[in-house]
Every structure is written in structure tokens, then in C-alpha cells.
Chains A and B, each alone.
Chain A
Amino acid sequence: MSSYSKKFLTDLYKTLYTIRVFESRSIQLYRQGLIRGYFHPYLGEEAIATGACAAIRPDDYIASTHRGHGHCIAKGADVKNMVAELFGKKTGYCKGLGGSMHIADLSKGNLGANAIVGANLPLGVGAALGSSLKGDDKVTIVFTSDGASNNGVFCESLNLAAIWNLPLIVIIENNQYAVSTSINESARETNLYKRGEAYGITSQQIDGNDVLAVYETVRETAGMCRKGKGPILIEAITYRHGGHHVNDPGAYMPKEKLDYYMSIDPIKRGRTYLLDKGKASENEVTKLEEQIEDEMDQAIDFAKSSAALSFDEFVTIVEDY
């Protein structure tokens, strides 16, 4: 395995820990009634967004899901504007019109979260098609899921990307549940990467809780995509730390399985990488964590003190609808 610089591993851990803190603190705010609506935590899956986004360029595209906060952060979003969006404020990424499931940040190449499972695949195919036609050398990552893999547009999109040789990386975040239905109940062939092979797409399965494994795989496949060898499919095996959304206790998730995935928690592993491979001291890591927690405090203050869009401003946006 390659050697990694301390700075690189610090940056990776910073992203991992930021997502963890963002989700944990936001869930508290949700419980206090400060955040409303639906909230699908990315807890337990942080390594996938972190490793994948670290492996592509800032101007590359991603298409995210309803469980999208991690993707946003990993693609460079400012947590201030993210929290503000969750609060429904004007300073949020969508001015409070979108909320948790619709955060988009085109300036960072984030085409947006999407609350329709599977629907971001065609959009990602389109972004990659645009890059292919413009020759802009960008790749697009579509984050998708075991749930989406049973949707028609998943299959159609793989086929379109394949026949058009698009610079597209499809990452199945296989967290093993479609809302509450186990992958074992929704597919006979549960090795989902094989679905890519059926369309003539280079496909592989990786440990989705290992940020470096994700990073290495995506780095290599992004290079292949830029050389015209796309699309690529990656199935990253992972597990949620809880139910489908904040109010789902996930009673259907077997305890022993959750215990296992807790033992290979992506944040713990990223921290160990930073300490062991990055030769960071415990003190340095703790300081970094405190700094991230402070930033989250500031983001929450920013969101709380931000104004909401007025009705008149809202109506101006939709006046020709």
C-alpha cells in the first residue's frame, strides 16, 4: 500500500470527523425540535464519501442521495450553510427551500442530494455525458445504494453510461437496508457489483468502512475514466449506525451485526490511520477534533442567527412558475 503524508491523512480524518460531528450534533438539534422534516443520518458510512471525494478533483461532479450530508461535506461544502439549510434559513444552500434532502452546491461540483431513490443516476449520466461532449476531463461520481439498485433507472443508467463510455463512477453504498428491508429479502444475488458486469462495466466490491480502500479504488477508477475507460461500478459494503431516519430506531437491525460494524467504525479506523501511518500525536488529533467541534458550534450559532427567506422573496423566486 502506498505511503500517505501526514497532511493527507489529517485532511481525510478532518472530513470523516466533520461528518460524524455534523450528523451527531444535528440529530441532537432535531430532537430539540430545531430541525424539522426528514433527516437521514450518514453515521457509519462516512468513509465512502470521504475517500471518494478525496480521490477526485474539486471541479469533478458528484450526485448525491437523500442520505447526503456526508457527500456534501466531503465535496467541500461549508457546514455553516448546511446547518442553515437544515434550519430552513435564507443563508442555507437552498435558501431554506430545499432542506436536508436537497442540498446542492454547484460551485463545488455537487449536483445535489436527491430524495427520489435512484433518480440521481440518470442525472449523473447526464453530467458525465456533458463532460464527454465538452471534453472537460471531469468525472462524475454517483452515490447510490442497495435500495436503488432494484430500481429500473439504475439498470437503464448503467447501460447508457456503458454504451456512451462515460467518465462516470457509480458507487453503491451497500448499507444492506432499503429503508427497513434487508438486501437478502430484496435480491437473490446480493453481490451487487455483478450488476455492473452484466452491462459490460468494470466492477468491484470493496470495504466501505475503510477510507483508504475507498480512496485508492476511486483514485484508480477516476484515472481510468479520464482515459476513456469508464464507466466504473464500485460496491462499497457498509452499515448504518441506526435506522433509516432519525425517528426510526432500526429495531429490525440485528444487534450482533451492528456490533460488528461498530467494531470496524470508519471514524475509528481513520483516526488509527492518522496516528499510525500519519505519525500524528494523540494530542494533535484531539486538538483537531476540538477544532471541528468548535466549527460546528459556530455553524449552529450562524444558523440560529440567520434570517429566513421572507414570503415576498420566496414568491419572487417562483413568480413565473
Chain B
Amino acid sequence: MAKAQRQIMYREALNEAFREEMRRDSTVILMGEGIAQRGGSYKVTVDLLKEFGPRRVIDTPIAEASFTGAGVGAAIVGMRPVVEILFVDFAMLILDQIINQAAKYRFMSGGEAKVPFVLRSQGGVGNGLAAQHSESLEAVFYHIPGLKLVMPATPYDAKGLLKQAIRCDKPVVFLEHKLLYMNKGPVPENDYTIKFGQADIKRSGKDVTVIAWSNMVLRSLEAAKACADENIDVEVIDLRTLVPMDTKSILDSVRKTERVVIVQEAVRRGGIASDIASIIQSEAFDYLDAPIEIVAGLNTPIPFNLDLERQAIPQKEDIIKAVKKVMYVD
């Protein structure tokens, strides 16, 4: 009888990725606030200090711009730093070091220099964490040429993509979601990586393509399940990496289902969903049987009140409604 695959939490999968990569490569170092002794706010880096010591797992002062820049500088001289920013909202303090330094360094050097740097952070709505701890800001990084953008939804993807990010010679922004850390899923104990630019069809279906990333993948899967009860067969594509984006998988699915819903937790305005919609309409316009629906957050900071918070971002019901709309059913 085949052994049942091990199930571990998303945060444990990330921890395991770190442990494996740090054993494999002595240039991998971690820097961030409270990551060493405390093991990180979400316990992602727990116990790494014990194995790798304070020179490789570094508790930093609250000086985001500078320790991020120090990570970039260390990467330029041959280290593989992974810098953690506690909340993606705080990443607004480091934009110069990410946008003007990390993202442009290789370019400005004529395409020669390597910048094997990973910025890890987490975003999204939690439970009443309010306006400065709840944003989904991936579009900020998506907009910047020279950065990879990774947003895993499952423990399996988290481990494989983090390992890939650490081995990448170009700067990677790796965004987790605060509601995912405790989720369990199958994760192989062996060494594996997941290439960037490969979407994963988390549920195959023939009627409607739902495109999502991060926590919205899970919400879309719940919606798909509910739709199945009404005989609507939804395909859910988890992009996993936004840059590079697997447009081929998107277009293949669109050509099959001919109906598209894109779900993003971030505010609608200037979002990645709009960009995906524009790619689909220019590449597969003739296949579409309905206008593309975007389910996105309201154009608002995240309210503290839990009812309002819930209503400010896409819920399962909103996705179901959008699926029915592109199916022209009530």
C-alpha cells in the first residue's frame, strides 16, 4: 500500500525550504525583524537560528529600507540574502531599494551583474488588522521591470517556489498571505523546485475559467465547488507567479471554456486582473462568449470593522455571482 503523502502547514513548508537551501548553500542568509530569536511573526523561520546561527539568521533593527538595501548589496557581492518584511504594507518603506536598486542593478550594469536577492513579505486581509496591515500590494511590484513576483497559495507551491526563488540570480519578490500559514497540504520531503512562469490548474473544468493567485485561489475553489452543485463546471487556474506570467496556460483555458472570471483580493483600480483581461482580449477575443468579469477589492483601504472588512474584498458569493454572469444564468 502506498504511503500517504505527508501533510504539513504552509509555514512549515517555507521553513523546510529555508532549511534545505541553507544546508545546501552557505551563502543563503536571512534578515528581518524578529526572525531569529522569535522565529518570525508567523513562525516561518522558527528554529533556523538554532541550526544556522546568528550570522546567517539575522535579527535586524526596525530599519526596513536599510536592511533591505544591505540585502541587495550583499547579493551583489555574492551572497543569497532573503530579507523578510513583516507586512507588505511596510514594504512601502523600502521601495527605493527594491525599485531603484535591486530591480535596476543588473540592467544598469549592462545586463552583467547578478542580484540573487529575495524579498519575502505577506499581505492580504487577516481578521481586523486594519488599514496598515492588510493591503494586497502586488501590483506595485508587478509594475516594475526587473523583478520576479511569486505568490504561492498552497504548502506544496510555497516550498518549491521559495527554493526556486533562493536559487534565482535575479531579484524576486515573494509574497505570502497571512491567512495561508496554518493551512495544511501534501508536501514531499525531497528536494524539488517549481519553475517560475508555470501556472497550475488547481481544478479542471469546461465551462468557465477562473484565474486567481494567493488566497483567492482557495476562495475560487470553494466557489467552484458550489457552482458544481448547480452544474457549472469551473476551471481554476492558480498563476503562482505573476512575473513571469504563464499566459499560455491562461489562453489555452480561455480557448477551451470561452468564459473568464479573474479574481484578485487587491483593489480593482490599476490591478493585475485588468492587465490579464487586456492580454486575453487581445490574444483570444474571438473565443470569448461573454465579457471578462473581474472580481476585486473595493477601491478602499481595508476597514477595521470585521463586517466591512469582509465586504471590502471578494467573497465566495461574489465569485459565484461572476461565474453565473459570464454563463448568463441567474
Contact = CB atoms under 8 A, between A and B. Distances in A.
B279 interface: no
A111 B108 contact: no
A162 to B, nearest CB: 10
Contacts, number: 135
Contact of B66 (A96, A114, A131, A160): A160
How many B residues touch the partner, as a band? 35 or more
Contacts of B74: 126-127, 129-130, 133
B79 A125 contact: no
A321 B71 CA distance: 21
Interface stretch (A49-57, A149-157, A214-222, A256-264): A149-157
B65 A159 contact: no
A126 B96 contact: no
Contacts of B56: 133
Contact of A104 (B67, B113, B170, B244): B113
A75 interface: no
A119 B101 contact: yes
Interface in B256-284: none
B231 interface: no
B222 to A, nearest CB: 34
Contact of A112 (B60, B81, B96, B105): B105
Most chain A CB neighbours (cut-off 10 Å) among B74, B77, B78: B77
Interface string B95-138: 01100110001011111110000000000000000000000000
Given A95-B111, A104-B113, A321-B145, A122 B76 contact: no
B50 interface: no
A177 interface: no
How many A residues touch the partner, as a band? 35 or more
B308 interface: no
A129 B77 CA distance: 9
B110 A160 contact: no
A157 B68 CA distance: 11
Contacts of B146: 318, 321
B113 A106 contact: yes
A101 to B, nearest CB: 9
A129 B65 CA distance: 16
B75 interface: yes
Contacts of A163: 61
Summarize A's interface: helix, strand, loop or mixed. helix
Given A123-B73, A131-B77, A318 B108 contact: no
A102 B79 CA distance: 22
B79 A116 contact: no
A98 B78 contact: no
B77 A160 contact: no
Interface in A95-119: 95-98, 102, 104, 106, 111-112, 114-116, 119
A130 B77 contact: yes
A312 interface: no
Most chain B CB neighbours (cut-off 10 Å) among A96, A152, A160: A160
B110 A130 contact: no
Contacts of B72: 122-123, 126
B78 A112 contact: no
Given A98-B108, A106-B113, A321-B145, A121 B101 contact: no
A102 B65 contact: no
A255 interface: no
A37 to B, nearest CB: 13
Contacts of A152: 65
B108 A133 contact: no
A94 B69 contact: no
Given A153-B65, A321-B145, A122 B110 contact: no
A320 B106 CA distance: 12
A140 to B, nearest CB: 8
Given A119-B96, A122-B65, A126-B70, A94 B109 contact: yes
Interface of B: 27, 29, 55-56, 60-61, 63, 65-79, 81, 96-97, 100-101, 105, 107-113, 145-146, 170, 244
8 contacts: A106-B109, A119-B69, A126-B74, A126-B77, A128-B73, A129-B73, A152-B65, A157-B69
Q: 7 tightest CB-CB pairs across the interface, nearest first?
A: A126-B73, A122-B69, A156-B66, A95-B110, A123-B73, A126-B70, A156-B63
